[in-house]
Chain A
Amino acid sequence: MKVFKAGAAAAVAAVLALTATACGGSSDKASSDGGASGGAKKDKIVIGIKFDQPGLGLKTPDGKFTGFDVDVATYVAKELGYQPDQIEFKQAVSAERENLIANGDVKLVVATYTINDKRKAKVDFAGPYFLAHQDLLVRADDTSITKAEDLNKKKLCSVTGSTSAQNVKTKLAPEADLLEQGGYSECLTGLENKKLDALTTDNSILAGYAAQEKNKGKFKLVGLKLSDEPYGIGLKKGDKDLQTKVNAALKKMVEDGSWQKAVDANLGPANYKAEPAPQITEGS
């Protein structure tokens, strides 16, 4: 019994020591990241993106990152003084974005992050760098849906808990038969098999799916503007210095044509009409 107690005490002590060092380690890293906004060359910048949205932020099977958000993130990082090999991309799931920023796990979040007041209570935004709208994706030969009210007799799919799904339920078409799936890929299965009539979310995300090699020619965007979703770059609340720098970087990206090039390359196919870059409204 005594031996057991001693062993347990030693184990507890070891665990405590390990956690303590682990905490120390991570906070050291965070603080060094925090001080590096000026651009110390050897440091890394951690940027949160989506890993599962083709055309915007996608981690490919060979470990590369592609998409419009990735291009924007790379450009902004370059303006902040980081080369592409100094960028570490971290997955920023929608529900975790605010905490990743507030905890200092990431410096920036470039992940289809719509600017709104509730989010601004926890983080600051730079941008917007892109103006998306809620839209519908239908089969390429389907012409029966031309406005939101048409959805009331249709079978519709969106992602569980997303703003787009809630918009449909409360405002756009309360009588639509709405299926909420875990991800957009699941919706595409039903859409292709004609069990569903439309898939709804931001047009940028829809365009990314429709532009995928395996989906080319199968789906099209209806082209409705059911909502405004200005995407911003999330950063730590109160970091005015970083906000100004990121805004300047975004402005430069639009002016030198890189922005348009990134939009065309990532979201080009699928009947997607890219709008000009939005005016920057956050910070000043």
Chain B
Amino acid sequence: MFDFLNSGQYDVLGAFWVTVQLTLYSAVGSLIWGTVLAGMRVSPVPLMRAFGTAYVDIVRNTPLTVIIIGCSLGLNQTLGISLGGGTFKEIGFRLAVLGFIAYTGTFVCEALRSGINTVPVGQAEAARALGLSFFQVLTLIVLPQAFRAVIAPLTNVLIALTKNTTVAAAIGVAEAALLMKEMIENEPQALFAVFGVFALGFVLLTLPTGLLLGWVAKRVAVKR
């Protein structure tokens, strides 16, 4: 039933490695972008707050597939933006990471904003009374505590991101879902075995992530 795995025709591990790479780059990028967005949403500048709110509300409510295909069809095929990549393989990967960062950043932002709300107002007031600027209050006092409070929700975002990377197959990034499509095309007699292999692959990626970060969340949470 699983002979298709031994034929040497399919590089399942390689495909999952691309999935891991997509996830890691996008996770780091969306963590940074999401933090910037969260900063904007709590900043005292009305224009920044307006931009943050508008961006999060629009992008979060746009289907990811639309964003990813928009990156490929709109940015690359129509406007010619290639993010410095030469071949479609590179361009597709970079555009996909861009799309995932744009999308996942909104969820990181909202998780982080809920974490900021757990920090007592008195702390920010005390910091301001010491003469710290908004930027200093945010980065030195509020965000470090906020991050410790939101590890669990951020883990959910990361797991969702891992699974969302399968959407990159729509623009031809050679990750797990694309290989699955190839295998279904070639091995119709083993349809459920193919599904099983890929489902198992994703469980192996996401389950340890959840367990590890769940443990970290418990250790670092601020007891109030």
CA distance A263 to B71 in the complex (A): 38
Among the stretches B23-31, B136-144, B167-175, B205-213, the one at the interface with A is B167-175
| A181-B170 in contact (CB<8A) | yes
DSSP majority for the B interface? helix
Most buried by A among B92, B181, B184, B187: B181
Which residue among A119, A180, A189 has the maximum number of chain B CB atoms within 10 Å of its CB?
A: A180
A143 located at the interface, meaning its Cβ lies under 8 Å from any Cβ of chain B in the complex: no
**A:183-227 near B, CB below 8 Å:** 186, 189-190, 193, 195-196
Per-position 1/0 for B40-63, Cβ under 8 A of A = 000000000000000000000000
B14 to chain A, nearest CB (A): 13
Q: Contact check: which of A94, A99, A122, A160 meets B170 at CB < 8 Å? A: A160
B78, B80, B178, B187: which contacts A160 (Cβ < 8 A)? B178
B170 — nearest CB in chain A belongs to which residue? A182
Q: Mark B156-198, 1 if CB is under 8 A from A, else 0.
A: 0000000000000111100000111110111111010000000
Q: Contact at B188–A160, with CB atoms within 8 Å?
A: no
The 8 A CB mask of B51-91 against A (1 = contact, 0 = none) is 00000000000000000010011001110100000011100
Q: Which of A55-63, A161-169, A247-255 contacts B (4 or more CB under 8 A)?
A: A161-169
Count of interface residues, chain B, beta-carbon cutoff 8 Å: 27
CB-defined contacts of A118 to chain B, threshold 8 Å? 186-189
A124 interface residue (CB < 8 Å to B):
no
- B76 contact set on A, CB distance < 8 A: 195
Residues of A within 8 A of B87 (CB): 177
Given contacts A161-B178, A181-B72, A190-B77, contact A98 B188 (CB under 8 A): yes
Asked whether B78 lies within 8 Å of A193 as measured between CB atoms, the reply is: yes
Verify A94–B73 contact, CB threshold 8 A.
Answer: no
A132 interface contact, C-beta 8 A: no
A1 on the B face (CB < 8 A) = no
Asked, given contacts A160-B169, A161-B184, A190-B77, whether A121 binds B189 with beta carbons under 8 Å apart, the answer is: yes
Query: Given contacts A98-B188, A118-B188, A195-B80, are A179 and B73 in contact (CB under 8 A)?
Result: no
A178 within 8 A of B: yes
Cβ–Cβ contact A180 & B189, under 8 A? no
Given contacts A177-B88, A179-B172, contact A161 B77 (CB under 8 A): no
| Contact across chains for B178 and A180 when beta carbons are under 8 A apart | yes
A95 to B198, CA, bound (A): 15
**Contact residues of A between 75 and 134, Cβ < 8 Å to B:** 94-95, 97-99, 118-119, 121-122
Q: Are A195 and B77 in contact (CB under 8 A)?
A: yes
- CB contact under 8 A between A95 and B77, given known A121-B189, A161-B178: no
How far, in whole Å, are A94 and B172 apart by their CA atoms in the complex? 18
Rounded to whole angstroms, the CA-CA distance of A95 and B188 in the bound complex is 7
Complex contact B172–A95 (CB within 8 A) = no
Among all A-B residue pairs, the 9 with the closest Cβ atoms: A161-B181, A180-B172, A190-B77, A179-B88, A161-B182, A182-B170, A121-B189, A95-B184, A98-B188
Supply 18 further A-B pairs (C-beta < 8 A) apart from A118-B186, A179-B171: A95-B181, A95-B184, A98-B191, A122-B188, A122-B189, A160-B181, A161-B169, A161-B181, A162-B185, A177-B88, A179-B88, A181-B170, A182-B171, A186-B69, A186-B77, A189-B78, A193-B77, A193-B78
- What are 13 inter-chain pairs, A to B, with CB distance below 8 A? A95-B181, A95-B184, A98-B188, A121-B189, A122-B189, A160-B169, A160-B172, A161-B169, A163-B186, A177-B89, A178-B88, A179-B92, A181-B170
